[in-house]
Every structure is written in C-alpha cells, then in structure tokens.
Amino acid sequence: MTPDEAQAKLDEYRILIDDVDRRIVALLNERTAVVENIGRVKREAHIPVYEPKREDEVFANITSANHGPLTTQAVRGIFERIIDASRSIQRLRMSQKPPEEPKC
C-alpha cells in the first residue's frame, strides 16, 4: 500500500469514526435526558442520588451486553465516567427548584 492509498483509507475510516462519534453523543444526550427525569423524581421523593445497588445493576447490564472487542474492564471504565457525569446532572436537577404550576 502506498502512502497515498494509506491516507485515502485512513480518511475513509475517519469519516466512519466521526459518524459513530456523533451517534454516541446523540445516545449520551438521550440517556442524559432520562437521567434528568430520574433526578427530578429523586428530588420529589427525597431519594439520594447515589444508589450503589442500581449502579451494580447498570454494570451487570452493560458487561453482559459487551461482546468485544472492548474488554469488560474498558466498558466498565467508560460507564464509570458516564455514571459520574450522570450523578452530577442529577445533583444539579435536585438542587433546582421545581417549576411552578401555572396559575389559572
């Protein structure tokens, strides 16, 4: 493979990666919208943000869904970061006042 052919192939793969990255961001934002709703429910019900049992369930779910090539440890590490960001968002939502009901 010539350097030009290699560069052309890399450019093709990078276009694919960019598309996958955009889809990942869209899915993360979709997940975050659900997390925001969970934070609102927790605020109303006075439930703590950190629920170790639920996090264990998430890790079990994602590791059982992983069929490689990422290792279980890698997937878990990625989700640890996602969950950490999710907790921050939940804390933010829980600290905000709920919107007032419109008066008729």
Domain holding 47: CATH number? 1.20.59.10
pLDDT at 82: 97
pLDDT at 3: 96
Domain interval for residue 61: 15-95
Q: Is residue 85 part of a domain?
A: yes
Q: What is the pLDDT of residues 15-67, one digit of tens each?
A: 999 999 999 999 999 999 999 999 889 888 999 999 999 999 999 999 999 99
| Residue 10 in this model has a pLDDT that exceeds 70 | yes
pTM for the whole thing?
A: 0.82
Q: Is residue 100 part of a domain?
A: no
Q: Give the residue from 56, 47, 48, 45 showing the smallest Cα distance to 80.
A: 56
pLDDT at 8: 97
